[in-house]
Amino acid sequence: MPKTYNKSPVKLVKRGNIFHIVISTIISGQRVFIRESSHETDRNKAMQYANKRLQDIIKQAELKSSNYRDVTLDYAFGLFWEEVGCQHANAKDTLNKLKNLTQYFNMQQYISSLSADDIAAFIRSKDLENRKNATINRYLALLSAIITRCKLHKINIPDVNIRQFMRKEPAENVKYFADWNIINKIIDNAAPHIKPIILTAIYTGFRISTILNLKWTDIVNGEFIIKVKDSKYVGGKIQRKPIFPILKNLLDTIPHESIYIFTYKGMPIKRINKGWNRALERAGVPHQTIHTLRHTHATWIYNSTGDLRLVKDSLAHSNIKTTLKYAHPFQDRVISVMDNVFAQNLHKPLNS
């Protein structure tokens, strides 16, 4: 829980002979920060000016809030889902998080009445469930996004900064498979209809949800052209992925039994989690989520090329900051590069 301080929202800063006022507070759910000159050299008069300025701001906020409305948490969650959440690349995950949040809050209370105590109680519940800080932070970020969406619709929002509750996370350790030996072990122990899905995940870096929704009509002039959900684009964002020879050879082995590429007994495959876990168990490979294949695709490309922008484009990241987590070269590559760089200084041994 964040620290609380009984600080005045108003303070004076002297610059030369003139006092400047600084007002920092939250009024009607809105962050207010003002820094301006009081045009006064007398401290008492400057404080009087500052207090009057604060009162004027409060009156303006109250007048503005009269045009705002109150809605329940249930309404706010629905609003966020319809306008933003359903457009997320992993919309099912967002929906599951929203459903999970409903278990911890009174969905009929106004969102404006959400308090710091409510947030702290939610975090305590997650702690009791032994959830990691990263998991808790994702839920808090979702709540913050819901509040931001309400603000755009002139809905009264709570006087609480949810991001203050965010916890420190350990540096992200991206998990990936080290080499083809492990991948081939998994494929050898996978069911026949899952084998090409695993290979496609490695070759393309697509999310599994994207792969399972691939259609033969998505192949146009030697490349995949698909739409992925993205709230920034109407109807989603177009992603293109060239079909290189090895990937084409794989696709050529798959029979056209449906409009969907990956099928089981002629029907589109919806989920492969159980089949994936069974393959790992049979191969004697420690458990990893199937999303690890996407991480492996990115990591192998980076370690082969050192080109972070190529990785960004391959994963269709909007921001290269998201891609930076893959900038972790293999130790063998580091040793090789260091040896090449510094081997040019062929000095005599120091003890000679």
Domain of 148 in residue numbering reads as: 73-165
Structure tokens that stand for 82 in this block: 């319809």
> Is the domain of 317 the same as that of 191?
yes
Would the pTM of this model clear 0.75, i.e. be above it? no
- 314 with 274, same domain: the answer is yes
Handedness of CA 311, 317, 321, 326 (dihedral sign): negative
Residue 352 in any domain: the answer is: no
Residue 1 included in any domain:
no
- Point out the domain boundary residue: 117, 139, 165: 165
Q: Is 344 contained in some domain?
A: no
Same domain? 61 vs 79: no
Residues 124, 265, single domain; the answer is no
**Does residue 3 form part of some domain?**
no
**Does residue 287 lie within any of the structural domains?**
yes
Q: Are residues 149 and 253 in the same domain?
A: no
* Cβ-count burial 313-349 (b if 16+ within 10 Å, e if not): bbbbbeeeeebeebeeeeeeeeeeeeeeeeeeeeeee
CATH number at residue 217: 1.10.443.10
Same domain, yes or no: 33 and 114: no
CA–CA dist 134, 153 (Å, integer): 29
| CA–CA separation, 228 and 156 (whole Å) | 33
Residues 37 and 106 in one domain: no
Do 212 and 327 lie in a common domain? yes
Instruction: State which of 49, 65, 81 marks the end of a domain.
Output: 65
The answer to the question of residue 256 being in a domain is yes
Strand-pairing partners, residue 268, are: 263
Which of these three, 122, 137, 165, is where a domain ends?
165
Please indicate, yes or no, whether residues 116 and 252 belong to a single structural domain of this protein.
no
* Tens-level pLDDT at each residue, the chain (352 residues): 344 444 688 889 998 899 999 888 877 666 778 888 888 899 999 999 888 888 888 877 766 656 788 899 999 999 999 998 888 867 888 999 999 999 999 999 999 999 889 999 999 999 999 998 989 999 999 999 999 999 899 898 888 888 889 988 776 677 899 899 999 999 999 999 999 999 999 999 999 999 999 999 999 999 999 887 666 666 677 889 999 999 999 999 999 999 999 999 999 999 999 999 999 999 999 999 999 999 999 999 998 888 889 999 998 888 888 888 877 656 666 666 666 666 665 555 555 5
Q: Are residues 156 and 187 in the same domain?
A: no
Total domains present in the chain:
3
- Structural domain includes residue 144: yes
Are 289 and 148 contained in the same domain? no
Same domain assignment for residues 211 and 276:
yes
To which residue do tokens 């309404």 refer? 75
Residues in contact with 71: Cβ distance below 8 Å, sequence separation at least 6, in sequence order: 79, 110, 111, 150, 155
In a domain, 175, yes or no: no
At 34 the pLDDT is 84
Q: Name residue, tokens 């469930």.
A: 129
Residue identified by tokens 């105590």 is 117
